[in-house]
Amino acid sequence: SQPFDYESVKRVSPFAKTVGGRKHFMFKRAAAATALLVTIGGASAFSAPLPLARLTSRIAKTTAGTIFRSPFTRTVCLFGLGGESSKASSEKGMYPIVGGEDIMRQKAHGTSEKPVMKNLRWGCDYETADRICNFNRHYAEFAGYWTTTKFLQEVDKEKETTYYDSVTGKPLFIAPRGRTFEEFKAESISHGWPSFRDEEVVWENVRCLNNGEAVSVDGTHLGHNLPDRKGNRYCINLVSVAGNPNPEH
């Protein structure tokens, strides 16, 4: 199995417009995304993306019947069907705050100045975290990884939880805000990754690049902004926000 590669979605999107020769928007987008999800979903390793030729071959064989099976439900949660851009902003037009590519320039340790912390919260794996946070721009921990950690057992379900940068210890997200923990949990389970909204982002320390990549101001790869009909949805690797607070911040 393969890890989820956000860039694969972009590479196949032009092809998706002609899947089966159909012109219905929901069919086109859902069919392509479903085939993609079935092909690369559920990865437990961090490895190279599926060759595009092989991927598009599978997409071409996707039928309308495939859409309405269970993978389609996950596809709707993952990609949405509203056609929003990764640059979409909230109704107020303030978010996301866009940062420059220079944030992710090479530094002493990949895109960061140092490795991730050794004592990550919730039992997150150090090597996976260091790879995703500092030596990666497109990949994610496998879908549902966060539910295999101690997160759901240890997180406070009655109060807000602050999520800290796994490298610097700076606060990056505070959730839930404007909703219950159960709503936050349900959305995250449906999508496959912890999913945050605009009001839950500590914008002092977080930026989105023009391609939708969510990063810390210090160069930690966090995840991606994948908007849905409700607005911006920041789909974040738990290993990227499992740090402990740094007293200096």
Residue 109 has pLDDT above 80, yes or no: yes
- Which residues, 6 or more positions from 131, have their beta carbon under 8 angstroms from its beta carbon? 46
DSSP tally for the chain: helices H, then strands E? 9, 7
pLDDT tens digits, residue range 17-56?
333 444 444 434 444 444 444 333 433 334 334 343 444 3
Q: What is the mean pLDDT of residues 76-87?
A: 38
In 3D space, the residue among 39, 99, 76 whose CA is nearest the CA of residue 226 turns out to be: 76
Mean pLDDT of the chain: 76
Is residue 5 within 8 Å of residue 43, measured between CB atoms? Answer: no
Burial profile 43-75: b = 16 or more Cβ within 10 angstroms, e = fewer: beebeebbeeeebbeebeebeeeebeeebbebb
Cα distances (angstroms) measured from residue 138 to each of 3, 245, 249: 10, 26, 28
So what's the pLDDT on residue 6?
52
So what's the pLDDT on residue 138?
87
So what's the pLDDT on residue 52?
39
So what's the pLDDT on residue 189?
95
So what's the pLDDT on residue 247?
82
Whether this prediction's pTM lies above 0.75 is answered by no
**CATH value of 101-240 in 3.30.43, 2.170.150, 3.40.50, 3.40.1350:** 2.170.150
